[in-house]
Amino acid sequence: MTDKCNSCRKGFAHNAYKMKCSVCKGVFHLECVNFKKEDYLFHKDSQTPWNCKGCLKVKRLSSRDDSIDSRKSASDDDGESDLKQIILSFRKEVTLANKDMKRELSNNSSDIKDLKEHLNTYSDYIKENTDAIGALRAELASLREQNEQLRTHNDVLQKKVNALEAQVVDNEQNALAKVVEISGIPSTTNENVVDIVKSVCRAVEFDMSESMFDNCFRRRPSPKSNFPGIICLSFIRRLDKDAFISATRRKRDLSTHDVGIDTRGDPSRIFINQSLTYHKRQLLNRAKVFKKEHQFKFVWIRSGSVMIRKDENSTIYEVRKADDLDKILSKNGQPPRS
């Protein structure tokens, strides 16, 4: 800002419009001389000279020195000339204003046309997106329905699988319904397992003949076990097996001393039980832990099934799977295990 307004003495902003006096060459702000942008453009385009108020005042004072007639004639001529100049100026201003208005209207029409085209395009996009969202919602609803059907079908299949697994466990246990396991009897070289079984029968006062069983053998112990292998006795009839088990229950604390086996020390306890599958054995061990943790008094095997009872006056429950233990807890007024 190098120039200053001759009226307010303030500088000009960059690229600001300036009115320049054709006499004194002074520059003025448009607002300081009551000019609008259109007035400035008119003077610029028409190259009409413009005088500031000071120069006009000097011009008027100098004209007063002329004769009255000359002044009157000049005044008339000047008035007519000024009127024509004003009319011409007004026409040019209106012409310029019309051109600007037409140009602006043309630009606005073009902008409105572009806006309409964009709105139409966006409207098409919105419709496509709305249709796509509707299709996705329908597909999602269909998938939810299919998922619910699959879940229901899966629940049915799971129940069938559980029933089949239980049936397989029962079938495996039924295959051992006539088998008895005898543990705690030390093994010797060239031993006769049948004679050992007969000695046990005599000790529990059970009258046994070899025609009652179809197989008798000692199972090989685990390499990491320090205990002798279990003797397995398979009866032909379940009635004979049950009678043998009952006889062993009547004989308390059966030991190697009772069957005439010398262990060179304290006699070893002999245990006789129904043969169990791996699943039933694991279930029995869990039931024993459960009994200890929750103050139950009885856990036993009856016909290959794990049985449990709180005390002498409580209900007897069969444990078919580990989850049954939590159900038994709730039935006895105790919270389920965490």
Structure tokens at 314: 């409580």
pLDDT tier for residue 210 given thresholds of 50, 70 and 90: confident
pLDDT of 56 reads 85
- Bridge partners (DSSP) of residue 179 are 234
pLDDT of 337 reads 60
Structure tokens at 42: 């008119």
Looking at every residue in the chain, the average pLDDT score rounds to: 86
pLDDT of 220 reads 87
pLDDT at 1 over 50: no
pLDDT at 144 over 60: yes
pLDDT of 226 reads 80
Rounded mean pLDDT, 222-231: 84
Residue pLDDT, tens place only, 246-260: 999 998 889 999 888
Distance separating alpha carbons of residues 22 and 192, to the nearest angstrom: 146
Compute the half-sphere exposure of residue 294: CA atoms within 13 Å on the CB side of its CA: 24
pLDDT of 63 reads 66
pLDDT tier for residue 109 given thresholds of 50, 70 and 90: confident
pLDDT of 302 reads 86
pLDDT at 105 over 90: no
Rounded mean pLDDT, 188-211: 91
Q: How far is CA 150 from CA 24, 139, 165, in A?
A: 98, 16, 22
Q: What is the pTM of this model?
A: 0.51
Structure tokens at 205: 């006062």
What lies within 8 Å, CB to CB, of 179 at 6+ separation is 232, 233, 234, 235, 241, 274, 275
pLDDT of 335 reads 65
pLDDT tier for residue 67 given thresholds of 50, 70 and 90: very low
pLDDT of 114 reads 85
The CATH homologous superfamily of the domain defined by 175-275: L1 transposable element, RRM domain (3.30.70.1820)
pLDDT of 65 reads 56
pLDDT of 71 reads 55
pLDDT at 79 over 80: no
Structure tokens at 309: 């009872």
Residue pLDDT, tens place only, 25-52: 899 998 998 988 888 888 888 888 888 9
pLDDT of 188 reads 86
Percent of the chain with pLDDT over 90: 40
pLDDT at 265 over 80: no
pLDDT at 207 over 60: yes
pLDDT tier for residue 221 given thresholds of 50, 70 and 90: confident
Phi/psi-derived region of residue 44, left when phi > 0, alpha when psi is between -120 and 50, beta in every other case: alpha
| CATH C-level class of 1-65 | alpha beta
DSSP H or E stretch at residue 183: strand 179-183
